[in-house]
Structure 1
Amino acid sequence: MNAIRWFGSLVLIFVLAHVCVAFEPDEKDLRGLWKFRIGDQREWASVGYDDSAWDQIRVPARWENEGFRGYDGYAWYRTQVVLDETIADKKLVLELGYIDDVDEVFINGVKIGQTGSFPPRFSTAYNASRKYQVPSNLIRIGEQNLIAVRVYDSQLEGGIVSGNLRIYSTGVLPPFLVDLTGSWLFNKGKAYNQRDQREIQVPGAWENQGYNNYDGYAVYTRKIELPATATSQRLVLLAGKIDDADQLYLNGLKIGQTGDLERWSNRDFYGEFRNYFFPPDAFKAGEENILEIRVYDRAGLGGIYEGPVGIMTQDQFRKYWKSKRRN
């Protein structure tokens, strides 16, 4: 009898543990029918565009199984979603499962991410799970929000083919003065090179954005302006997680580093959040300031692969991390 009770207790613990793991934060399921059209026009990302004449397609599914057998090339998906107050002031992630081969994603007309590389520098990312951080200023609480996805398929099956499709919360939104999620300029090499720059989405591994199998040096660049009320305060950059080592520069002045770009250390830094404190009056008020993050990746995924990324005051920074520890 004792053995039976012991086994029953073990089963109960196992079930409860799985119930806890299965619990999800605030989220919106995006599976179902989306608007769909083959072809490629930039205006299809626009909120004001009329897609009433478009086909409807089940998502996720291979578009070959939805009436477009044999089609290879460009196509667009569009859907509208209403988000309520439960996600206000929270970090949001848009998950789009697996897309064959390349995608570019827009929220309310603004690009928030890309995986793979479109022709003429085509690079597939069919096996990469799509998760994009959503800048908080793009979401209209209680109103329709447009999600538009541009897709290129080179051969065989195409489209948003499988996996979870949802918008979900990952916690409280950091109180950023400047949210740096989104487009940065990027070049390979040890130093800033304007002639070799291309746009890249941050956060996101560079292998998923056209630099497949690249290991070595690269530079991220972002230009920002801050008002005098902000530059007079002590500021902190949250630079997310970076694989592997990095250095931060502001207007050519080195601010800090994690790891060593020149000598490889046995210590793994890729799992550490980067927090960099700027000296007083480091930023020029009302003028263009240039942030540079120089990165060295030894192997595997590389770059600024996870957020949050943004600038806040030191006081906000202390309160934010205290809040995270309490939770």
Structure 2
Amino acid sequence: MRRIILIFSLLTQLVWHVAIVAQNRENINFNNDWLFRLGDITDFEKTNYDDTSWRQIDIPHDWSIEGNYSEKNPSGTHGAFLPTGIACYRKHFEYSPKWDSKKVTVIFDAIYCNSTIYINGQKLGFHPNGYLPIRYTLNQYLKPGENVIAVKVDHSKTPSGRWYTGSGIYRAARLQITEPVHLDETSLFVTTKDNREVTVKYELTGVNDKEASAYSMIVRIYNQDNREVAKKRLTHKEITNETTIKLKNPNTWSAQTPYLYTCEIELLKGKEAIDLHQTKFGFRHIEVSSTKGLWINGQKEILKGVCLHQDGGPVGTAVPRDLWLYRLKLLKEMGCNAVRTAHNPFQTDFYEICDSIGLYVVDEIFDGWETPKAEYDYGLYFEENWQNDLETFIKRDRNHPSILFWSIGNEVKKATPETEKKLYDFIKQYDTTRLITQGRSYNGKSVDIIGFNGRGEYLNALVKYHEKYPEKILLGTEMTHNYQTRGFYRTKTLYRLRDFPAPWELERKQSFEDIKNRIYHVEDLSPTEIFPDDNLVYQSSYDNSIVRMGIRDYWKATKDLPYYIGGFRWTGIDYLGESFQWPARTANFGVIDLANLPTDSYYLYQSLWSDTPMVHILPHWTHKVKEGTEIPVVAYTNCAEAELFLNGKSLGKKKMTDDLQIVWNVPYQLGELKVVATDSKKQTISKKVQTAGLPYRINLRTSHNVLSEKHNDAIIVFAEVVDENNVPVPYADNWIEFSSTEHLELIGVENGDVLDLSNNKIKARKAFHGQCIAIYKPVKKGNNVKIKATSLGLIGKEININIRE
């Protein structure tokens, strides 16, 4: 009975809080029913402009990814050869009488880029940064009846970044309705001390000294089960912008135990609750030193991280939350425990996901500073805008427990100690709880943690730096760089500078002879190439397509260095742009490809980083004209030993060595190749590959099967071509067409082939090495919603999903 009463009390309390939010702080979804048109349109901001012919869309919206790839597009290699330009958006909305005497604010999470925003024909302002929130108060311009907000996005000067940036209102927007006196949500800062004490900093907006005595405040802390675990009442005399609350034995937050609390501030005027705001936070204690490394909550950690760009492949930069959730969970299953936002702030729900599933974050604000790195990038606006943008960035993200460190730049062109120092000091005004780093900052004087990119990959580079600067803490902000294409193999080792130099290496006239004795050498897997192919855009999925060091050499060289706290490989997931040349849309750096499909390298990292017993075998076992040819068969495993079987016959049992892979040379014959790994407890785990016959049918699977039409949800549909025995066909390149009922909207198709220049929004895609995907978003609720994949000459497949409200 007591439990029932407690649950009823909690539910009543939550309903009461919801009522407060609905009445006094309302965040209205502002994403639907926008009008869009490409072009620089005269007078588009005026209320009486005729927009009846404009296209109706919802935001988030990236117009560049809707276009066609073309060598003539000025975005070039940086922007994946996709179109940019100028476009205009309009939204009609009704004024609500409930807003009388309230404060009305429009908030755009980000617009790329150079946005000018109007309300009812009046200019609100210009904002060059394409990665940070934009806020404008609308009250003085609003009128009863219909209002029009208009946005011009000027992305005509490109390249504006060194990677694909997208174009448009590509993140969410909302209207925020508050009382004139309210809590400034950007000021709320929750910190913890000794894993017991919570300090809450806050600011009130709109209050004057005469009225101050009328206000009081209640601060509450809820645990992860929404149970109140601490409460503090503050009289008007105690509202001093900071208060402290102690908890008894709180749970801690880490990558292993991502326990989240909620801090809630309720503002009262007399006895009336007039505002309520919440933020999640976590208890965690971080210690870093050059002698002991990184310790979180008293546990030794090494950052097993990846760098990420913000685009979502076929959806461009308008990335649904569900897509990030799927991707980050996939990285976590790989053994990854950290991500670096390269080289700009990401959307808010990215950090919320990292908080909830347990991923550490190095949060990066700038790629460069005063000097542009791409011809029209943020460097043109840095001097005028950096203070406002850096403040917005820190205040937006500082309550996320996932964020370990701030990063103030990456490979900054013409970096000066003066700018580094002023950025460092500015951040410390708003957050003294985190250390600061910078990508490639080994010459830096102000940063707390020295970031190493490519230079850290040379033989003994970190050791030599430590000998010179023994007190410095080192971090691999981009280590290491490797290439791989899903399902593609070479047995001869390729080095970028020697075999497929990057444009900047050609410009610098670098020589492989100059560095060959400074890099990590990876032995060839065969005397002559077994899988000859002249296409150097595709890269081998063995660990033998390298820049300066392979994945295994990276782990061996760095895992035991106490002054090196871990690193972030370039990259975790393939991203659009930054390719070497037309017609490649990108370079295959990702351990997961553009289609969100793991490469073989994914499983190599899993064998090094994950404690869950696993084994993986490569290559596939469907090869043309290879009968009798000795093929290197590689097993990645975190088990002690593995045994290989060909058509049931053992080819030998081998122990794992310092080579961090097990290799058998197997004369090729049709059939089944199976590896059985045995861990230290004598438990076994196996994996097999089989020779496939001709393509016969399509198999489908989905990232999940229940969606919500009211949230930024999406579903990934994975299509794979198999033979009549259900064996995947690795060489299949059939065109697969996707269709669905009216409940879903197709938002992207992809296959991971960086040379496939098909439009990402059409309903068909050619399978690449047997697979491709489609991504849908829900537009209407329904049960047993159908998704179908068909292909000429193959048996198609249909699946059902459900869409709830």
Answer with 1 or 2: which has the greater Rg: 2
Question: Greater strand percent: which structure?
Answer: 1
TM-score normalised over the length of structure 2 = 0.20
* TM-score, normalised relative to structure 1: 0.45
